[in-house]
Every structure is written in structure tokens, then in C-alpha cells.
Structure 1
Amino acid sequence: MTPEQSQPTPAQRVAITELLRRIAPVADDLGARFAAAGHELALVGGPVRDALLRRPGKDVDLTTDAPPDRVLELIDGWADAVWTIGIEFGTVGLRKDGHELEITTYRSESYDPRSRKPQVAYGTSLHEDLRRRDFAVNAMAARLPGHEFVDPFGGLSDLRDRVLRTPGRPEDSFGDDPLRMLRAARFASQLGFTVAPDVVAAMTDMAGRIEIVSAERIRDELSKLLCGAHPREGLALLVDTGLAGYVLPELPKLRLEIDEHHRHKDVYEHSLIVLEQAIAQEEDGPDLILRLAALLHDIGKPRTRRFEPGGRVSFHHHEVVGAKMTRKRLTELRYPKDVVAAVSRLVELHLRFHGYGTGEWTDSAVRRYVRDAGPLLSRLHKLTRADCTTRNRRKADRLRRTYDDLETRIERLAEEEELAAMRPEIDGNEIQEILGITPGPLVGRAYKFLLDLRLDRGIIGRDAAAAELRRWGVEQGILDEAAGAGTAADATGAGTDGAGTDGAGTDGAGTDGAGTDGAGTDGAEADTEGADGAGGAGPGSGDGGVRGEAS
């Protein structure tokens, strides 16, 4: 069907006009203002597409034949606020009656093969402006005032068919702006649309062109893709076309060969399932940090893959290796430092639960788990639950029950001991007073001793903590025997946690097989992660994060 054949009927045009009127009531008034001055103005792109899909949208994008300086003249005195941050690309932003609008002069842009920046030239025709846009579904407009629907490239038909095509040859479109290849994957994720075969072919042939695009633009598209409703579709398109090899090369490397004994699953498919299961647990919209962690949690496996005697496959310390790889990749993509820290920390901690085994957790182990996760605890809960992809229902149920019990224990201890604000019962100044020392590294060592004591035995009271500190001071040669005398008696019976059975620093080590190769026979995350948990109970510090949502 040609674009002309796919045009709406008169009745459909009326319905479309009514839909478009709802986008921003102030747009008609602005259109009349431009028309009176002899200029065109039209709603364009995403807002038109989303209105026809009945998707909620905040953006109001307009296009005009008026150059930017003329746009500024026409909105002077009419707009409540104006900003010109994008004026070098022909875009002026404004606010009117609570609505934010962006007006961009008709333009065509292309990339010099050696440059990362688009070359912008202003145009004079709405039709030509629409022709330069990325996809036909984004090349629809509504002239203002009146909302006359304009669809020269069959975008409405593509919306009905849920397909992404380019207005012209995809090779020309991607040659003009290679980022459009990533946008195809992003829209596949956000809209759940299929990408036309000729577009996929062009993406495959031209994947290397993405290298001229800045890391910041790639990062923004990748984030929007991950925060879409169907990220699997977008990620699969990146991998299948070879684009992932340039923007996220760790992802296609997860497509490990099946070993000769067929005992471990494809890590790429496992990671996509974990991503989907993490998304299913989100409560307040897309969480970029959680989604990145779910996607990248196993990227250390290809580097740590080992074939063991008997045909077993192991990935020892892949969480540590993966955390370093995650930090490096996200830094290269120019993600904010707090996002990099949070995602890499989650990758590092994703085995911690399995490192403790499925037996009874000591209170000490629970405290250390909470301390190490810090403000990422809620996300770590979700990631750990998502990481169970075993098809063995009995194993899955056992892991779920064990984690349910852990969360219950955390809630109980949190009520009893204020876990969220876990710190020693003696501060740095008191440490100096008790030990008779001055500020320096020794204070830090003493503080760490007290924090470990707090983690192992819970709240024991200031006097008992001071007695233990004096005993430690004697052991370290800081205090003499006389200064530390009586500390053993002071500390006897101290604690509410059953110290002595909990075992300082044990975390149940030696009883749950942490650090051994466990049951790791098939590479399934939930079935073998205890095998890879070497160092899984070690100390660490959490880091904060931010939420990220696609616009």
C-alpha cells in the first residue's frame, strides 16, 4: 500500500483532529499568531504519533518555516518563559499556561563521515522537513491552527501495522544520522513495533557507522531502550544487527556455546529473563539502575568460564570481574558516577545471598548483608529474586522460601536494632579518649573493630563495647595489661545476639559450602551461584543511586 492509498477517510480525519487538539490547547493560539505573521507552524513527530496511539505524552514539539530569531520575536510577550539552549540547532523552548513547547525551524541535517556533530541547514517546506525524519510514524504532522493532518509517508498505516519504516531509503536515513539505528531499537522497545526487513538489513550493513556518534547520545538512547515496555525486543535487535558489538560489546559475548555435556544455559538468554523478572517487580515505574544491573549481572562469566573435571562448568569470581567490567563500560558511556557506582555494586553483590547457602542465617550474616547492600538493599532484593531462572520448580520454591525468610529476618532486626543506621556504639572521639590516641589511621582500625563487633553481636551497650575496645587495645599493644584489666569480666555475657554461638565474622562460613563449587553442574544461576560465591560474604560498603525513566 502506498502512502497515498493509506490516507485516512474524511471521518477519520475529523477523529484525528479531535485527538490532536487535546495535546496542547495553547498550540492553536500560537498557530494563529504565526499565521498572522505569514509563517507556518505545525505539531510534529512524537506528540502526533503518541496521540494517535493514545499514549500519554508530555512533549509538545512544533516545527515552523520561521528562523529561530523570528521565532523569538513572535513569542516575545506571549510566552511565560523562554529558553534558547538548543538554538544553534534551530530549537527554541517556551512555557505557556503550564505547557512546555519546543519550536524547531524546518531543517535538514547530515553527518560528515569524520564528525560526531550533525550539520544543520534550515529548510522552507514542511514536506521536506518530514522527509528528513527518522521513521514514517514520526513523520506525521498537524498544521496549526486547525490541526490539518499531514502524513506524506504512510505513518498512520505503519501505526496500524505496528511496523517501523523510514520515509526514504534507510541507508540514506542512517547515513544522515547513524544514531537512528539505535532509535529503531529504542522504538522497538518502547512501542513493541516490528522493524521492517530493509531497515534491519541497513542497520546490519551500517552498524559500524555508530562509532561516530557521541557516547552521551548513545547512552541516552540505550537508557530509553532499557526503560521501554519491551526491552528484550530492542536488545535482540542490537545483538542481531551487530550494533551491540559497538555500543555494548559485553552483551553479544554472553551468547556462550553450549558445552558438550549440555549442562549450562545460554547466559545471554538467562540475562534477558532476569531483566524481565526484575521489571515484573518494579513498583514505581522503570528503574534504570535495576534494569542495568539485571542485564549486566553476568557479564563477567565469559572471562571466568572454566571446564572442570567431570564436565562441570564454573564461573568463579565472575561477580567481581563483572563489577569491574560494568564500571568500565558505564563510565565509557558517560553515565553519572552515582549510577555507575550503584549498578556495579549490585553486580558485585548479586551472589551474596547464594554465598550463605540455604540453611539458617545467623543474625551476624543478616547484619552484614544489610550493611553491604546499604541503600541498594531494596534493589538487591529484586535482583536476587529475578536471578532465579531454574526450571526445577522445587529448587525455585526452596530459594523463594529461603529469601522470604531472609527478608523477614531483616525486617525483624531492623525493628530491633535500627539496621538502616548501623554504626558502632562508640564514636571516633570516644575511641581516642578510651585508647589515649590522637586522630589517625589507628582510629579507623579501632572503628572497624567496633563495627565488626556490632555486626557480629548486635547491640551490646556502650559499657560492654568500651570493654571490648580496651581488650582489643591490649591485643594491639596500644594499652598495657593494667589499662585493659577487667575487660573480660565487663564483657562477660554482653550482647543480645547469643554471641559465642554466632561466631564473630563467621557468617555461617564452613556450614553452607560458600566458596566451594557446590552444585554447579548446569550453569543455571539459581542452581550454581552458591558455587561461584567465593568471597560472597566479604565486607563492603553500599553506594547510592538514582532512578531513571524513559521520556
Structure 2
Amino acid sequence: MDFSVSPVAIELGELFEAHGFELALVGGPVRDLLLNRPAHDLDFCTSARPEEFEPILKKWGDGFWDMGRKFGTLGAIKRMPDGKEYSVEITTYRSDTYEPDSRKPEVNYGDSLEGDLSRRDFTINAMAIRVPSMEFVDPFDGQRDIERKILRTPVEPEQSFDDDPLRMMRAVRFVAQLGFRIGIDTAEALYDMAPRIEIVSAERVRDELCKLLLAQYPHEGLEALVDSGLAEFVLPELPDLSLEIDEHHRHKDVYEHTLQVLDRAIALETDDEGPVPAPDLTLRLAAIMHDIGKPRTRKYEANGKVTFLHHDAVGAKMTKKRLKALHFDNQMVSDVSTLVDMHLRFHGYVDERWSDAAVRRYVKDAGHLYHRLNRLTRADATTQNKAKEQMFARAMDDLEERVIELKEKEDFESIRPDLNGDEIMAILGLAPGPEVGRAYKHMLDYRLDNGPVDRDTAVQELKRWYEEEN
């Protein structure tokens, strides 16, 4: 088989061969070669022990690291004459064993390439190309699985997932990245062993979920997450959206609606020059979380109508709790929960065109999330009524045009009350504390509603509010 392997791989292979060691390109880079996808990093395995190939790598590379030394892995950066920079990682042949309650292997060095490949997650990642001879090694029919677009494990799936439960998340992530389907035996084992994902750290699970959402086929990846049973432990709010459809079809299935909103939100992402460059994790998380408050707020009215009152506020709290449990950073938690909380705000504009003050308040409240919020709102309008859909789109277009016009007159982000905190304390004779904060917020609201006013008017309004409050 003819492979177009990077010159870096050939160069390294010749160097290792000269020292009497085997070297093979393995895993993702080989898979990507067969898929005609670019391989950004190069992973190798070798018969040499770390202490044996360390001096080779240090002399060859332009940069060296050894953070993975305890796992038999060393890395280097190589800058080629054409200016390209390559990152390589080399690992000694391994044969790992796992403790039942841990996904961290006890590293044992192996003695063959085939043995090393048998411990990898899926057959499509258990292929290798020996360098510099260019011999293709595929003991588990990974090439055939690529052609069939199937995910299988090299060994029994129960053993593979028991050894490292994170491989179950990697399975659904590869569905999203490659558009493959999970083989029947592998899928059955995944479903049976889904509870074992709970021994994996939240950070690891979060990272796989993020990769899934940012992939080319996140819709299919989320379906695999739910169908596998993993979502019950990773993102239980998602399968909970599968509300039964009553015989009169009074409400749509919220799970299917959510996946549709995700697809529509992705279609509204922009290129690198736009306000929401693709792929945007914040928008995609908000799309799948925006309706998670519906199961808790569902109510059947006397007239048979189904309502979900305040599902936006309830969903925002649930979103914050789930993202914190998955150890997302505070900014992401805040941004996504805010989008969920505000995703219905615009609907009032469709019913009645807002005043300039209301438009300013909307933009101010959305802050840096304004463009994402509008895209989430547009994506959420999944009605089959074409006239209603067009009316909604026209209303959003009108709002965005008005925002542009208003911003030409005033920078919304710099809007401040006509009186600052020090002035408020001096006028009301207050010491620093919560009451000053409430007064400041009132004056900001007054500023948004009325535009800038002179100092006397602002002082009069502050005193009026304070007297009314006290």
C-alpha cells in the first residue's frame, strides 16, 4: 500500500533503525491517512525504552518534553527546512493492566508492535506503518472497518471498556467526528457497561463531550450518547427531554426539537471574521441546554393545553448545576446559563415592537452574548407555520437593524448611570453596602429607560426612589 507519510516520520524511522530500534507510526495519524484527513501531530511507538531513545530524540528535535515519562512517552518538536513545525510523541511498546476501580493503567512495557496495538481503543486506531520500511500493520482489520464506517474494539468490548471506561465516551465522540456507527457487539457492551463511566473524572468526560459538540456531526454524536445510555450519567437532562407525545399532539418532542435547534444554531455560526466564529462551544452548549427546564415545569391546563411556564429560569439553574458538575470554567457556566435564561426574551418583541429603551436594555443585559443570543433565539423558532416563521424572522431582522442604528448614536457597553457610586453615597448619606448597589442598579435602569439626563434630574430621581423604598 502506498502511503504519503511525512518526511519527518521517515527521517525518525531511519534514525531509530540506525540505532537498532523499531519505530512505527500508529493510531490517529494512520487512520487519518486512510481517511485522507490531515494529521497535525505524529504518534509513534518503539521497541526502545525511554532511557534508550531519549538521547536520540533530544539530538534530533528542536524542543523536547517528558511529561509522559511515567507512561513511557517522550515528545519533541521538529522544524523542517520548509518552515513547517511537527509535534511528535514516541511511546515504548506497552502492555497495560488496570485496577477494577481505576482507568489509570499500571504501565508494563511490551515486546511487540502487534501487542501494543491490541491495547488500543478501536480497530481504526489499532493500525501502524513501520518506518522507514513503510510496512502496513493491521492485525484487527481496522482498514476494513474504516471502509464500512464501523467502530469496533480490537479485543472483546467488555474487556476494553472495563479496562478504560473513557473509551465509551471516545466511541460516541468518534461518531460525531467521523460519522461512523458503533458496531453491534460494541454497542451492546457499551450500553451494559455505561454506569462504569462514573469512575472517570469529570474533567475527562467534559473534554470528550466538548470534542463531540465541536465535531462535524454533533447531532449524531448526541444521539449515540443517549442511545448508549451514557447520557444518563453524563448529561441526564438530555434524555429527560424525550417527553411522551400525547394522542392529540399538543406538544412536540422536546428532545428532537433540541437536536433540531442545535443543527440550526450551527448553521448560523459565522466564519472567522464574523461575531460567532464556528465552531462555537458556548452557542452549541446553550442549544442543547435551552429547554432542559421543560420536564420540571410541564403542566396540563384544564383546557388540555400543555404549558412550560418559567422553564427558561428553571433551565438556567439546572444548566449552571450541570456545567459545574462537569467542571466547566466559571465563564462558560455563566455564559451558557445566561443564554438559557434569556432565550425567550425576544418573543415579546414579536408580539409588540419594543421602545428604544427596551432595545437598549436587551442589548445591555445580553452584553457580550448578544450575537449568540440572537442566533440561539432564531434557531429555537422551529415552527412549521411558514407565515409565523417569516414574521419571527422579520421581527429579529428589525431588532438587529435598530440595534445598529442605536449603537451609532451611543455605545451600549459604556452606558453608566448619570450618578456614580460615590455620588450616590454622598447624596443619600450612605456607607458602602448592598443599599448602594440597589440604588446604582435603579439609576442604571433609569438611564436605560430614559437616556442621559442632567444632574439635577438624576438627583431628583435618586431621592424619589430612595424615599419610596424606605
TM superposition score normalised by structure 2: 0.93
Alpha-carbon offset, residue 158 of structure 1: 1.6
Conserved? CA contact 2:419–2:458, under 8 Å: no
Q: CA RMSD in A?
A: 1.8
Deviations 1:278-335 (Å, cap 9, x if unpaired)? 1111123211111111011111111111101111011111111111111111111111
Find out whether 1:472 has 2:462 as its counterpart.
Answer: yes
Separation in 2 of the partners of 1:234 and 1:367? 39
CA distance in 1, matches of 2:432, 2:240: 49
SS state at 1:122 partner: coil
Three-state SS of the structure 2 residue aligned to 1:103 is: strand
Q: 1:424 to 1:196 in 2, by over 3 A?
A: same
Equivalent residue runs for 1:492-507 within 5 Å: none
Structure 1 residue 391: deviation in Å?
1.0
Query: What aligned pairs does 1:415-494 form with structure 2 within 5 A after superposition?
Result: 415-435=408-428, 438-460=431-453, 464-473=454-463, 476-477=466-467
Work out which of the residue numbers 60, 63, 71 in structure 2 matches 1:78: 60
Superposition deviation, residue 362 in structure 1: 0.9
Aligned twin of 2:82: none
Q: Residue 405 of structure 1: which of 386, 398, 405 is its match?
A: 398
CA apart distance, 1:429: 3.4
**Structure-2 residue corresponding to 1:169:** 156
Say if 1:137 and 1:159, in contact at 8 Å, map to a contact too: yes
Which of 383, 388, 394 aligns to 1:390? It is 383
Question: How many Å separate the matches in 2 of 1:331 and 1:230?
Answer: 25
1:86-485 equivalences in 2 (<5 Å): 86-97=68-79, 98-283=85-270, 284-435=277-428, 438-460=431-453, 464-473=454-463, 476-477=466-467
Kept after mapping to 2: 8 A contact 1:116/1:214? no
One-letter amino acid of the counterpart of residue 166, structure 1: T
Inter-CA distance 340–349: structure 2 relative to 1 (3 Å threshold): same
Deviation at 1:95, TM superposition (A): 0.9
Q: Which residue of 2 aligns with 1:508?
A: none
The letter of the residue matching 1:245 is: E
Deviation at 1:166, TM superposition (A): 1.7
Distance in structure 2 (CA, Å) of the matches to 1:152 and 1:110: 21
Name the CA distance, whole Å, in 1 between partners of 2:304 and 2:130. 67
Q: Decide whether aligned partners of structure 1 residues 34 and 259 sit closer, same or farther in structure 2, where only a CA change above 3 A counts.
A: same
Distance 1:250-1:445 versus aligned 2 partners, 3 A rule: closer
SS of residue in 1 equivalent to 2:87: strand
Distance 2:92 2:206 in 1: 26
Alpha-carbon separation, structure 2, partners of 1:99 and 1:306: 58
Deviations along 1:153-201, one digit per CA (max 9) or x if unpaired, are: 2112222221212222222221221111111111111000121111111
More deviation in 70-79 or 376-385? 70-79
Larger Rg: 1
- What is the CA-CA distance between 1:375 and the residue it aligns to? 0.7
The CA deviation at 1:435 is 5.0
The letter for the 2-side match of 1:470 is Q
1:300, 1:321 within 8 Å by CA — same for their partners in 2?
yes
The amino acid across from 2:234 in the alignment is V
Larger mean CA deviation between 262-271 and 252-261 belongs to: 252-261
Of structures 1 and 2, the one scoring higher in RCO (CA 8 A, sep 6+) is: 1
1:60 aligns with 2:42: yes
Does structure 2 retain, via aligned residues, the 8 Å contact 1:434–1:470? no
Q: Does 1:41 align with 2:23?
A: yes
Paired residues of 1:261 and 1:311 also in contact (CA < 8 A)? no
CA change 1:315–1:213 in 2 (3 A) is same
Closer/same/farther in 2, CA of residues 342 and 474 from structure 1, 3 Å limit:
closer
Deviation at 1:73, TM superposition (A): 2.2
CA distance in 2, matches of 1:438, 1:45: 64
- Alignment match, 1:512: none
Report the CA distance shift for 1:403/1:367 in structure 2 as closer, same or farther (over 3 A): same
Distance 1:202 1:341, change over 3 A: same
CA separation in 2, counterparts of 1:465 and 1:412? 26
Does the 8 Å contact 2:22/2:46 carry over to 1? yes
- Contact 2:103–2:163, Cα closer than 8 Å, also in 1: no
Q: Within the alignment, does 1:50 sit opposite 2:40 as a pair? A: no
Distance 1:224 1:109 in 2: 26
Structure 1: distance between partners of 2:216 and 2:326 = 22
Q: CA deviation at 1:466?
A: 4.1
Once the two structures are TM-superposed, the CA of residue 89 in structure 1 deviates from its matched residue by 2.0
Q: Which amino acid aligns with 1:31?
A: G
State TM-score, norm by structure 1: 0.79
State the partner residue of 1:523. none
Specify whether residues 299 and 289 from structure 1 end up closer, same or farther in structure 2 by C-alpha distance, changes over 3 A only: same
Shift of 1:110: 4.1
**What is the distance in 2 between the residues matched to 1:444 and 1:273?**
41
Distance across 1 between alignment mates of 2:390 and 2:455: 41
CA shift, 1:450, in A, is 2.0
What corresponds to 1:7 in structure 2? Answer: none
The amino acid of 1:66's aligned partner reads A
Cα 1:260–1:412 change in 2 (3 A) is: same
- Quote the Cα distance in structure 2 between the aligned partners of 1:124 and 1:466: 85
Structure 2 counterpart of 1:158, which letter? D
Could you tell me which amino acid in structure 1 is paired with residue 10 of structure 2? D
Letter in 2 for 1:155: G
Q: Unaligned regions of 5+ residues in structure 2, if any?
A: 80-84, 271-276
Report percent identity of matched pairs: 56
SS in 2 for 1:77: helix
3-state DSSP of counterpart to 1:92: strand
